[in-house]
Structure 1
Amino acid sequence: MTRLAVLTASAGLLALLLPAAPASAQQDPDIDCDNATVQMELTYCAEKDWQAADAKLNTAYSAAMKSMREMDADLPADLKGAAEALKEAQRAWIPYRDKACAAAGFLARGGSMEPMLIYSCLAQLTADRTQELEQLAEGLGN
């Protein structure tokens, strides 16, 4: 077998084996977040809380954006801008959230608790923003 054939066969075998590795690594561990006690579990649960909050945020943002577009549709051209204002506000809020939570992580800088503090902050600020967006989507008097 030529060297090129061996390399090609090896690359093909490697390509078949690699996709299987990440699939097993991505499986959620069996952790009861209501009874988490060790730092690894607490951090995992804080991350899950943030992911759940982020999913709710995305739903709330879509609803708020829909309301803003509807509001813009009813306004004269020179008064439109609700949807654009919301988009700009959200784009500004994301870096604020990330930097504020990175700062919160400094309370345990370099320690095993640092990621949990960051994820907990991300979850809280994201939940707060979700509530703001839900109120915006509801509008005045709804």
Structure 2
Amino acid sequence: MKMVLMSILCGCVLLMDAPADAEEPKVNCEKADTQMEMNYCAEQDFNAADADLNAQWKVTRKALADWDKKLDVDQRGAENALLKSQRAWIDYRDGECEAEGYSAHGGTMEPMLVMSCKAELSKVRTEELKQLADTIGQQ
């Protein structure tokens, strides 16, 4: 019983000594050497691609909503179709990238493969959404 209490106390002391908000690691992604650094950089690349995708999503959704407003009520549906396609695309992206990660399943390289895949597919989707908004905006 004493060992259990000591373990709990030691664990609490260790938690109290940990920094409250850990700093981001300082990694030069152009010179990432370790798998941990490469995983981190792949995650950062995906986060940036996802932010760009989300920004373009708002622009494209607004373009299609504005398009719908120009149509008779019974002909509207562009914005809903876009939402449906985006939901399907997210399922596709996540499934495709999970499958790609299986080539290193359980290994330290798996997160990098998944994040790199998500970043690349997100960049392609961002361009697709931009083209759609541009096309709708021109009509």
The 1:82/1:22 distance shift into structure 2, 3 A limit, reads: farther
Aligned mate of 1:100, from 80, 96, 102: 96
The 1:107/1:83 distance shift into structure 2, 3 A limit, reads: same
User: Is 1:117 matched with 2:113?
Assistant: yes
Q: What residue identity is the alignment partner of 1:106?
A: Y
Runs of 4+, deviation exceeding 3 Å: none
Aligned mate of 1:23, from 15, 21, 46: 21
* CA-atom RMSD in angstroms: 1.8
User: Is 1:86 matched with 2:86?
Assistant: no
Q: Measure how far apart 1:110 and its partner are.
A: 1.3
Question: Which 5+ residue runs of structure 2 have no aligned equivalent?
Answer: 1-11
Q: What residue identity is the alignment partner of 2:131?
A: Q
Q: Measure how far apart 1:90 and its partner are.
A: 0.7
Alignment partners' CA distance in 2, 1:109 and 1:72 = 45
The normalised TM-score by structure 2 is: 0.83
In structure 2, the residue corresponding to 1:139 is in which secondary structure?
Answer: helix
The normalised TM-score by structure 1 is: 0.81
Question: Which 5+ residue runs of structure 1 have no aligned equivalent?
Answer: 1-13
Alignment partners' CA distance in 2, 1:118 and 1:38 = 17
Aligned to 1:5: none
Aligned to 1:3: none
